Amino acid sequence: MQAQAPAPVGTSSSSFVAAAVAKTGPAVVRIDTEKTIASQAEPLFEDPFFREFFGDRFGAQIPRERQVRGQGSGFITQKDGIILTNAHVVSGADRVTVTLKDGREFAAVVQGTDEVTDLAVVKIENPAGDLPIATLGNSAQVQVGDWAIAVGNPVGLNNTVTLGIISTLTRSSAQVGIPDKRIDFLQTDAAINPGNSGGPLLNEQGEVIGINTAIRPDANGIGFAIPIDQAKTITNTLAMGKQVPHPYIGVQMRTMTPELARQNNSNPNSPFSLPEVEGVLIVRVLPNTPAEAAGLRLGDVITAIDSQTINDAGQLQSIVDGSGLNKSLQLNIIRGDRALKLKVVTSQLKNISSTP
């Protein structure tokens, strides 16, 4: 164990973890999935020379589809059997089985998934008996150095518990290595292994502060969790099977600084000159997007949105995310030596590999 934070007042260092897990552990479930994927036939059996001698006797026996099984974790949040987990745990599943810590097993159905945030809601189809539920905390109150308790089912080992601390509060998805997501993760040194995905990250009171979701294969002692506050905002939408709104304008960008501009402008091979200002540099305008329709171009520098000064790419992303769909945004941009104002109307993100 790497963490040495003090135990909560009124508990010993050995008892607060047990108390936290006793509170929420029964609501943590193992999720087993099955999905059917297309399987290509062995090329040999499709060879005309082979078929001339053996006909279709072998080809007919080759399955064109195969079953793939997966496993992850989740936790019950409502008495009617609503479960929070990761989208990548259940996405595309034809069959979902949920197993509780007490051994009860239920069939479940995927109510909704959101690939952009990697969140999903699963519901037990016919819940029998009293279901334990997890208490959701407030991730906005989490601080660096707080205890972090990860509960899940790594490599099939039911209700495994690991302990660490919160290392960082807002680790961007790009820094984690999954730039197609729109999440600022909690980072922890509590061990998060395969199968932990979808399980809860708890505070010392046993409240869920995050959803374990990612590990870095190139580093030990680093794990990531989606802040529970972000999950709260879309759980009901997913439970109703609705699409989660994700506004975007359709650009790829980077933070612009005077230093970056000077480096660019000193390069004789640079295709354009950049203003020595702070803002956001457009490095690509995606085709058939609001940005293209609005007339944004490669090399434009966005300095403000709706009169709010923009200093970095993360800030612009947050403003677009919070703007709503079909929202008209006024952009102040600098193009070469000209200051311009353009209006762009947000639309629903259709491809998660796109950025704002």
Residue in 239, 282, 284 with CA at minimum distance from that of residue 121: 239
Residue 157 Cα distances to 20, 35, 220, 281, angstroms? 19, 22, 20, 47
Residue in 163, 164, 165, 161 with CA at minimum distance from that of residue 143: 165
- 246 tagged catalytic: no
Residue 120 Cα distances to 52, 226, 306, 340, angstroms? 50, 12, 33, 41
The encoded tokens of residue 105 equal 């097993």
Catalytic residue among 32, 73, 88, 300: 88
The encoded tokens of residue 236 equal 């009901």
Backbone φ and ψ for 269, nearest 5 degrees, come out as: -95, 0
Backbone φ and ψ for 59, nearest 5 degrees, come out as: -60, -35
Q: Number of C-alpha atoms within 13 angstroms, CB side, residue 48?
A: 0
- 321 tagged catalytic: no
- 88 tagged catalytic: yes
- Enter the DSSP assignment of 155: G
Cα separation, 290 vs 343, in Å, equals 10
Residue 12: strand, helix, or coil: coil
C-beta separation of 317 from 339 below 8 A: no
Cα separation, 102 vs 97, in Å, equals 15
- Enter the DSSP assignment of 136: B
Chain position carrying tokens 């702070």: 278
Catalytic residue among 73, 197, 323, 354: 197
Cα separation, 322 vs 326, in Å, equals 12
The encoded tokens of residue 169 equal 């509060």
Cα separation, 298 vs 272, in Å, equals 10
Catalytic residue among 118, 184, 189, 300: 118
Q: Which residues are catalytic?
A: 88, 118, 197
